[in-house]
Amino acid sequence: MSSQKKQRRMQRAEIRRVTDEMRGIRRDLEQAYSRFDNLADPMQMDACIFEINALRAKYNCAVHDLKQLSQ
């Protein structure tokens, strides 16, 4: 197998890994938003807000990685 084919295959695998990671993060975000919508305790709301912000930052990093891989 040529080096170029091997490199393309590795790149496609990495793209699949990042997109799978993004799907998982999106699922976690949906769950965090759902928990937030059903809370009444301000302390728990703060915790959910921190969790949502962390997940959004993680998602943004994954998007950045995917853009770098696609170029």
For 7-17, the pLDDT digits (tens) are 999 999 999 99
The residue type of 50 is F
Residues 68, 36: Cα–Cα separation, whole Å: 33
Burial class (CB in 10 A: 0-12, 13-18, 19+), 62: buried
Q: Give the per-residue pLDDT at 29.
A: 98
* Percent above pLDDT 70 for the chain: 99
- Assigned domain for 53 exists: yes
Q: Mean pLDDT over residues 35-40, rounded?
A: 96
46-59 confidence digits (pLDDT tens): 999 999 999 999 99
For the chain, the domain total comes to 1
Whether the Cβ atoms of residue 18 and residue 69 lie closer than 8 Å to each other: yes
Which pLDDT band, with edges at 50, 70 and 90, does 40 fall under? Answer: very high
- Assigned domain for 46 exists: yes
Q: Which domain holds residue 66?
A: 42-71
- Assigned domain for 57 exists: yes
